[in-house]
């Protein structure tokens, strides 16, 4: 009898799990369940549709309908997993007509993702307050943008900044409010955050840091927000205050959560309950730098984890390495990225650090069109190993982050990185790569200790 694999959540992790399961077991019955009305799409693209840089939400569709047919996936949209019985290996699913179906499984993969955190302040449920997570969130914001003149974005992580970018390029006066004293607190240290904030402000976006949104104002719809006592008018409020792993479905089942409140899995993406795997935004990762649990809720990780979960759920063998956490984004005319630990994050788990940052160019100084790039490198001070980096620049940030990710993966020291045999040509690089220069300064600080 063919293996039955049920996957709850049909986005990046879920569909890649299904793809990998199919490649592993061509005869398995693979059922995908998702509560949204859309087959898998790229959440990361939503702010860029709003910005007008991607023509349409339809472009975000990850796979054509034919993919699901060819792969023989049984796709249930607008369907909600209601409960799981891990002893009998049954999931109860409510379909869009409201009927409940009992699905037997041999392997269950939890890829239900995460929910945007809606700060429970007064007015959080007023019309005009949006999350930025789903296609429907995006469509609702797009509709509201047609008449809006002012917007507030709560939270200055990547999603918040990308949303502010989308609003601002549509000529909506936008204010970002971040409760932490600097933007991008989960990725950047204060110095790099301040540098980035100035760049954002140059594009007409107001940024308020270190202040809390106390309430959302308005009677029948959003009219503004109260930020630490001060009122700011707004027609749109977007909550971009982080996401929370979706775990209500497994409450009481004995599936262990980690200290991050996400699902604990081993490197094969198995939970502690036999037959149940998990992947994507709902699971906890392990940092290869600290050895500690962490959240790494990005599409890249979801795809890698989903693929591994799918292979194992279908009877194959795969295991994921621990994570380094690399992230990149682009807003306005610059890119920003981070990898590994910031100094703040390192200090939080007890590591001492040394760091250096320098500003270079992306082309030879005399080659027209070169952009500024600022690189910060963080290293631990005894062995000198690179622990992290933060980069902001007009171009070529993503691949610099990747270079540093490889350096961290291979436990490279700042001194070794300073001697990296980097490439150069006037239209595409400086003679001396800024990453190498930053590493050299860090290495000198380590030597002088």
Tokens 């590994």 correspond to 340
Rounded CA-CA distance 91/265 in Å is 20
Shorter beta-carbon distance to a copy of itself: residue 275 or 299: 299
Is there binding between residue 324 and a copy of itself (CB under 8 A)?
A: yes
Q: Does the protein bind a copy of itself through residue 387 (CB under 8 A)?
A: no
HEC states along 17-86?
HHHHHHHHCCCCEEEEECCCCCCCECHHHHHHHHCCCCCCHHHHECCCHHHHHHCCEEEECCCEEEEEEC
CB of 296 to a copy of itself, least distance (A): 9
3-state secondary structure at position 160 = helix
Taking CA 132 as the corner, what is the angle to CA 143 and CA 46, rounded to the nearest 5 degrees? Answer: 70
Question: Binding to a copy of itself by residue 378, rule CB under 8 A?
Answer: no
Residue 100's beta-bridge partner residues?
A: 94
Which residue matches tokens 């041999």? 106
Residue 325 annotated among the catalytic residues of the structure? no
Binder to a copy of itself among 132, 239, 328, 346 (CB under 8 A)?
328
DSSP element (H, E) containing 316: none
Q: Does the footprint of a copy of itself cover residue 403 (CB under 8 A)? A: yes
Q: Where does this chain touch a copy of itself (CB under 8 A) — which range of 17-25, 50-58, 84-92, 347-355? A: 50-58
From 212, 428, 444, 445, residue interacting with a copy of itself (rule: CB under 8 A): 428
The span from the CA of 285 to the CA of 298, in Å, is 11
Angle between helices 299-313 and 12-24 (to 10 degrees): 30
| Residues 12/298/249/89 CA torsion (nearest 10 deg) | 50
CB of 125 to a copy of itself, least distance (A): 30
Q: Per DSSP, what are the bridge partners of residue 213?
A: 227
Stretch that binds a copy of itself, among 94-102, 119-127, 322-330, 376-384 (CB under 8 A): 322-330
Site string for a copy of itself, 350-369 (x = CB under 8 A): --------------x-xxx-
Q: Is 316 in the site for a copy of itself (CB under 8 A)?
A: no
One of 91, 239, 309, 397 touching a copy of itself (CB under 8 A): 397
Angle at 411 between CA 290 and CA 352, to 5 degrees: 45
Does the protein bind a copy of itself through residue 109 (CB under 8 A)? no
- Nearest approach in angstroms of CB 366 to a copy of itself is 4
Closest CA to 33 of 97, 132, 103, 131: 103
> Which range binds a copy of itself by CB under 8 A, 168-176, 207-215, 239-247, 404-412?
404-412
Of 109, 433, 438, 442, which one interacts with a copy of itself (CB under 8 A)?
433
Residues forming the site for a copy of itself (CB under 8 A): 12, 42, 44-45, 48, 53-55, 59-60, 158, 298-300, 303-304, 320-321, 323-330, 335, 337, 339, 364, 366-368, 396-403, 405-407, 409-412, 416-417, 419-429, 431-433, 435
Residues annotated as catalytic are: 44
């Amino acid at each position: 009898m063919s293996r039955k694999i049920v996957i709850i959540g049909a986005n990046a992790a879920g569909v890649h799990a299904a793809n990998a399961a199919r490649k592993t077991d061509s005869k398995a019955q693979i059922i995908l369940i998702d509560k949204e009305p859309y087959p898998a799409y790229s959440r990361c693209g939503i702010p860029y549709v709003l910005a007008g840089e991607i023509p349409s939400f339809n472009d975000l569709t990850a796979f054509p309908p034919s993919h699901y047919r060819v792969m023989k996936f049984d796709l249930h949209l607008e369907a909600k997993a209601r409960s799981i019985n891990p002893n009998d290996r049954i999931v109860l699913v409510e379909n869009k007509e409201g009927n409940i179906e009992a699905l037997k499984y041999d392997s269950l993969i939890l890829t239900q993702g995460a929910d945007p955190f809606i700060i429970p302040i007064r007015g959080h449920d007023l019309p005009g307050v949006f999350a930025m997570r789903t296609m429907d969130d995006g469509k609702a914001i797009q509709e509201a943008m047609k008449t809006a003149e002012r917007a507030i974005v709560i939270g200055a992580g990547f999603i918040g900044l990308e949303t502010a970018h989308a609003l601002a390029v549509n000529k909506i006066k936008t204010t970002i409010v971040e409760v932490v004293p600097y933007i991008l607190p989960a990725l950047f240290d204060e110095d790099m955050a301040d540098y980035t904030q100035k760049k954002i402000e140059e594009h007409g976006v107001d940024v308020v840091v270190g202040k809390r949104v106390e309430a959302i104002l308005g009677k029948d719809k959003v009219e503004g927000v109260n930020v630490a006592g001060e009122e700011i008018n707004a027609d749109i409020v977007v909550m971009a205050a982080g996401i929370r792993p979706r775990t209500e479905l497994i409450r009481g089942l004995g599936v262990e959560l980690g200290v991050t409140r996400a699902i604990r899995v081993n490197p094969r993406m198995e939970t502690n309950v036999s037959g149940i795997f998990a992947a994507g935004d709902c699971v906890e990762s392990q940092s290869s730098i600290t050895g500690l649990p962490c959240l790494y809720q990005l599409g890249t990780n979801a795809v890698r984890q989903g693929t591994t979960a799918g292979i194992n759920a279908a009877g194959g063998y795969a295991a994921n390495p621990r994570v380094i956490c690399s992230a990149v984004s682009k807003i306005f005319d610059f890119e920003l990225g981070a990898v590994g630990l910031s100094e703040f994050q390192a200090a939080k788990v007890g590591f001492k650090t040394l760091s250096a940052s320098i500003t270079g160019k992306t082309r030879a100084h005399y080659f027209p069109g070169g952009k500024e790039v600022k690189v910060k490198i963080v290293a631990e001070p005894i062995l000198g190993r690179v622990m992290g980096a933060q980069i902001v620049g007009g171009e070529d940030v993503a691949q610099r982050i990747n270079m540093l990710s490889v350096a961290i993966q291979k436990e490279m020291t700042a001194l070794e990185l300073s001697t990296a045999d980097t490439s150069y040509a006037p239209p595409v690089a400086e003679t001396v790569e800024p990453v190498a220069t930053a590493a050299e300064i860090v290495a000198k600080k380590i030597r002088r200790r």
